């Protein structure tokens, strides 16, 4: 009988089938991890210092204008019945607020992340597909058609609830208000503006919106959102795009404008300023707060104390751990590690 036949069932004697694959067997013990702890500790402290210093250099100015307090100039506007209410917030800067300055509006206790709210839009309609102008997606209900059965464009709760306060900033120079130019270009995501949201190709844009109605809360139809700039209308209006990108957390801010032009490109010089607010958005129904935020940004974005401190704490902890490990290692070491 041949050898092969005798051993037809013999398993393959390979490293894999015999579970003898060469393996690296890391052994987590005090002696080995000390360098790791030291490296992580030092690196983290370095990162932490960089983050902290960067964050310290960022200037932030927040102005709450909800008007809850009776002495606030916006107190008069908090009643929802008051229409077209304007109020002014005055503030002064001691030193130059370095540019480019970003102007945000902030809302608190506002749950843009509410599940049904997030679903209440028609993505196809917002890409400019005219078929969805006449029959918007059912996900928009109850902001899909008005009482007369006319389709709402843009439909849905998100579009309907767009933030509609307006801000104008003036520097008070010799008791004279000098308007600070606010730049509204490029405040939305590039992809939203160029790819995701499209206007219908109809020219003029207004014709695409025939037989549709504007969202219930809107004062003007979508094609007239920005009367000053015809190309900033419809679904690619920058403010609209910023609003449509739902915030992750209930206390948020959204970019409103940037101060990048003229003599203010380098920042806001020290002096007195007046912020004139067109107060439209009701927040009393959800105990919300509204604020305006001036901030300059760095490579790490806005001001963020937390991350720098967290890095410093964890880095220090790792250094302490490495010392502890050193003590442990000195006392209890493996016999083979000498």
Partner 1 sequence: MLNINRPRYKRSKLERALNRDVLCCVALLFSMCLVGAVGHFMWRRSLPGTPPYLVPDPQGSLDAPSLSAFYMFFTMIILLQILIPISLYVSIELVKMAQVFFITNDVDLYDAEWDRRVQCRALNITEDLGQIQYVFSDKTGTLTENKMVFSRCSVMGTEYPHQENAVRLAVVDEPDPDQEVVFDQRPRRRREPGWTLAGGEEEEESGSGAGQRPQAAPPRSKAARSAPGDVAFSSPLEKEVVPDKALLQQIVKIDFSGGGWEVDPYLDFFLALAICNTVVVSTATAQRERLSQLSSASVSTGPSYALSSLAQKVGSLRRSLASWKPLTRRASPDCQVLAPEEEEEEVEEEERGRASGRAGDMDALRSCRLVVDSDEVLFEAESPDEAALVYAAKAYGFTLLARGPASVAVRLPHGERLELEVLDTLSFDAHRKRMSVLVRHPVTGEMVLYTKGADYTLMELLGSPCAEQLNDDQRSVAAYCQKHLDQYAKEGLRTLCFTRKTVSEREYSEWSTLRRTALAAMDNRGGQVRDSAVHLERDLSLLGATGIVDRLQDSVPDTIEALREAGIQVWVLTGDKPETAVNIAYACRLLDEGDMVINMSSKDKRQCASMLDCTLEAVRRYPLGPDGAGTDPTVAMVIDGRTLAMALESDLQERFVELARRCRSVLCCRVTPVQKSDVVKVIRDKLKVMTLAVGDGANDVNMIQAADVGIGISGQEGMQAVMASDFAICRFKHLRKLVLVHGHWCHSRLAHMIVYFFYKNVAYVNILFWYQFYCGFTGTTVIDIWLVIFFNLFYTSVPPIMFGIMDRDVSAETLMGLAELYRLGQGEYKSSIFWVAILDAFYQSLVCFFIPYLTYRGSDVDVFTFGTPLNTVSLFTILLHLSMEIKAWTAVHWGVMMGSVGVFFVSILAYNALCVTCNPPANPYWTLQTQMGDPMFYLVCLLTTVVALLPRYTFHVLRNTLRPSPLLLARNLERLAPAARRRWTQGWRRGTRGGGGRGDAPGGEDGSRRGGPVPDLDPSPAPPAPRDTSTTIAT
**Which residues 11-70 are close enough to bind partner 1 by CB under 8 A?**
11-13, 17-19, 21-31, 33, 40, 44, 47, 51
Q: Is 205 exposed, middle or buried (0-12, 13-18, 19+ CB in 10 A)?
A: buried
Closest separation between CB of residue 125 and partner 1, Å? 10
CA distances, 210 to each of 48, 154, 213 (Å): 57, 13, 8
- For partner 1, give the closer residue by CB, 230 or 301: 301
| Crossing angle of the two packed helices 305-331 and 30-57, in degrees rounded to 10 | 160
- Contact pick of 110, 235, 264, 279 for partner 1 (by CB under 8 A): 110
Task: Kindly report the number of other CB atoms within 10 A of residue 207's CB atom.
Answer: 10
Q: Which of residues 241-260 bind partner 1 (CB under 8 A)?
A: 245-255
- For partner 1, give the closer residue by CB, 50 or 93: 50
Q: Which of residues 117-176 bind partner 1 (CB under 8 A)?
A: 117-124, 127, 137-139, 141-142, 144, 157, 160-161
Closest separation between CB of residue 310 and partner 1, Å? 6
d(CA 149, CA 216): 13
In this structure, are residues 183 and 112 in contact, taking their beta carbons and an 8 Å threshold? no
- For partner 1, give the closer residue by CB, 100 or 302: 302
d(CA 330, CA 327): 5
Closest separation between CB of residue 250 and partner 1, Å? 6
How many amino acids of this chain bind partner 1 (CB under 8 A)? 100
Task: Tell whether omega for the bond before 100 is within 30 degrees of 0, i.e. cis.
Answer: yes
- For partner 1, give the closer residue by CB, 195 or 270: 195
- For partner 1, give the closer residue by CB, 19 or 84: 19
Closest separation between CB of residue 174 and partner 1, Å? 36
d(CA 236, CA 239): 9
């Amino acid at each position: 009988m041949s050898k092969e036949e005798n051993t037809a069932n013999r398993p393959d004697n390979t490293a894999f089938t015999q579970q003898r694959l060469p393996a690296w067997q890391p052994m987590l013990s005090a002696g080995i991890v000390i360098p790791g702890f030291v490296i992580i500790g030092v690196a983290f402290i370095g990162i932490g210092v960089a983050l902290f210093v960067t964050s310290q250099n960022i200037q932030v100015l927040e102005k709450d204008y909800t008007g809850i307090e009776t002495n606030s100039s916006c107190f008069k506007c908090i009643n929802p019945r008051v229409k077209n209410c304007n109020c002014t917030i005055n503030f002064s800067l001691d030193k130059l607020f370095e540019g480019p300055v970003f102007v945000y509006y902030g809302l608190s206790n506002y749950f843009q992340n509410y599940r049904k709210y997030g679903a209440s839009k028609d993505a196809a309609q917002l890409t400019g597909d005219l078929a969805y102008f006449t029959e918007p997606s059912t996900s928009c209900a109850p902001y899909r058609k008005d009482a007369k059965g006319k389709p709402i464009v843009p439909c849905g709760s998100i579009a309907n609830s767009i933030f509609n306060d307006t801000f104008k900033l003036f520097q008070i120079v010799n008791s004279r208000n000098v308007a600070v130019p606010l730049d509204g270009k490029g405040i939305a995501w590039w992809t939203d503006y160029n790819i995701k949201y499209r206007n219908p190709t109809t020219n003029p844009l207004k014709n695409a919106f025939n037989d549709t109605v504007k969202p219930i809360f809107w004062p003007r139809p979508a094609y007239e959102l920005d009367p000053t700039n015809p190309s900033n209308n419809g679904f690619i209006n920058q403010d609209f795009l910023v609003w449509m990108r739902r915030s992750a957390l209930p206390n948020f801010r959204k970019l409103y404008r940037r101060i990048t032009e003229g003599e203010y490109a380098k920042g806001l010089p020290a002096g007195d300023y007046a912020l004139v607010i067109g107060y439209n958005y009701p927040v009393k129904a959800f105990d919300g707060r509204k604020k305006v935020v001036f901030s300059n940004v760095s490579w790490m974005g806005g001001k963020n104390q937390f991350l720098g401190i967290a890095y410093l704490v964890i880095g220090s902890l790792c250094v302490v751990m490495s010392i502890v490990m050193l003590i442990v290692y000195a006392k209890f070491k493996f016999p083979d590690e000498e």
